[in-house]
Structure formats: structure tokens, C-alpha cells
Amino acid sequence: QVQMTESGGGSVQPGGSVRLSCVVHGYARANANCAAWFRQAPGKERETVAVINTGGSTSYADQVRGRFTISEDNARINLYLQMNNLKVEDTATYYCAREPRHCTGGYRIPPSWFGYRGQGTQVTVSS
């Protein structure tokens, strides 16, 4: 059974930084892999913000590009999201997700496409 757990969320002031981590257990490493972070703010739909595919290529939503960085370890056990220069509008619950298939479309891939996801970690940006 695949289990994914996020950590690293919390409260931060605008302009601050947070690093989210996601550890996966029971995930069989496949030749193809797609991992992502998506978020959901109160009253809004979930949105994919960052994607990393089999070859390590990354893709970011327009609103986070240049501020967020997605990465993972070679074993594909740990997935990270470094978030810099945070804004109030980044406040949301952040989820990690994985799918053992190669992905195209980058950040336009909807969260529902991913077969495995964590329970989420809250990030609150406020002064």
C-alpha cells in the first residue's frame, strides 16, 4: 500500500521561505514516474503548481515560477518543494502526488490524474 506523508508546512511572513517534504512508502520505483505538488486554498479549486517527470524535467504554474523549486531524490522516496518569496496568495493546503507513468503537459496536469497523494500540509502566509 502506497502511503505519502507531507511535512514542513507552517506560518510564515510574506517574503519568507518554506521547504516542504514528502516521503513515500510502498511505492515501487517504475521506469516512468511523474511527481507533483498541488495546492488548494479555501473556496478555490485544487491547482497543480509544480511537476517533475521521469527525466527530471520540471514545470511550474505561472504564479509560482521563479519562486518555487520541485526536486526529488534518485530513489524517488523523497519529494521536495522549496518555496521562496512567499506571498499571501500562496496560503493553501499543499499536497504531494505521484503517478508511475510518464507525464506530459507539465503543470497543466490536473491533480486528479495522479493516483497517489498525501494528506496535505498547511502553509499560511500572513503578516
pLDDT at 29: 66
If residue 93 lies in a helix (H) or strand (E), which one and from where to where?
A: strand 92-99
From first to last of the 127 residues of the chain, give the pLDDT tens digit. Answer: 889 999 999 999 999 999 999 999 887 766 678 999 999 999 999 999 999 998 889 999 999 999 999 999 888 889 999 999 999 999 999 999 999 988 888 999 999 999 999 999 999 999 9
Q: What is the pLDDT of residue 75?
A: 83
Cell of 111: 491533480
Burial of 82 (0-12, 13-18, 19+ CB in 10 A): middle
- Please report, to the nearest 10 degrees, the dihedral formed by the alpha carbons of residues 120, 36, 62, 9 taken in order: 30
Q: What is the number of helices (H) and of strands (E) in the chain?
A: 0, 11
Specify the pLDDT at position 54.
Answer: 83
pLDDT, position 26: 84
Q: Show Cβ contacts of residue 90 under 8 Å, excluding neighbours closer than 6 positions.
A: 39, 64, 83, 123, 125
